[in-house]
Structure 1
């Protein structure tokens, strides 16, 4: 990989990290609309210092609003991470208890633990389930076609 490719790749990765969330975009749009509304409203009313609204709004109010949104989202994300960790720990504890009482064989226990650890979120679990169903359906279709050939 050349230096130019590495630089372009790093720039693309950095650009992906800077994507705004839907809430950030909404707040930015509302704040900008209010800045323009107040600034041009003061201009229409003949206020000579109307132009002060624009630097104050775009250099002060807009960054502050976006910072508050990012703080809100980071705290909300931390809460979700904590609850997800708790759910995973609870599920592991349940599996351990079932294994200890003999409800699960060693193979079943290991398969369930592996599946639990590879599906960290509900979305991951749904994707994993859908992939297993597709594989199962493909296997059935293969068996049916082999049966039809016989």
Structure 2
């Protein structure tokens, strides 16, 4: 599994200002609904339900919200780079500006966990995060997120 299999340039957005975590979840749900046809209301509920179990703000300005939703055939992602950091209730109490949300089919097993581990490893790279924060073009952000991936073609 690679980041490029989870998120496309169309799933990457630069967002000017959000006023709340609830608004962020609504925008993430609308993005995944537009790209993958899931019900945005159910996606918001699933994100909020997961967040109630514990914060998905992992520190250093990064949040990895994730949820299982009906209507998906595979794990997919949405990436937001916020121009103004948002209070998120992260473990380090710092606001977040890099959000990589994952959505998995309800019945997804280990694939959901593999995707979450991959995204977590990717977002732990401080150099990569600095590059993400320094750019605003979705295609460039996608290239940064996927840099270092190798093709499996011979």
TM-score interval (norm. to shorter): under 0.3
- Larger strand proportion of the pair: 2
Question: With CA pairs under 8 Å and 6+ residues apart, which has the higher RCO, 1 or 2?
Answer: 2
The TM-score, its normalising length taken from structure 2, stands at 0.23
- TM-score calculated relative to the size of structure 1: 0.24
| Structure whose alpha-carbon radius of gyration is higher | 1
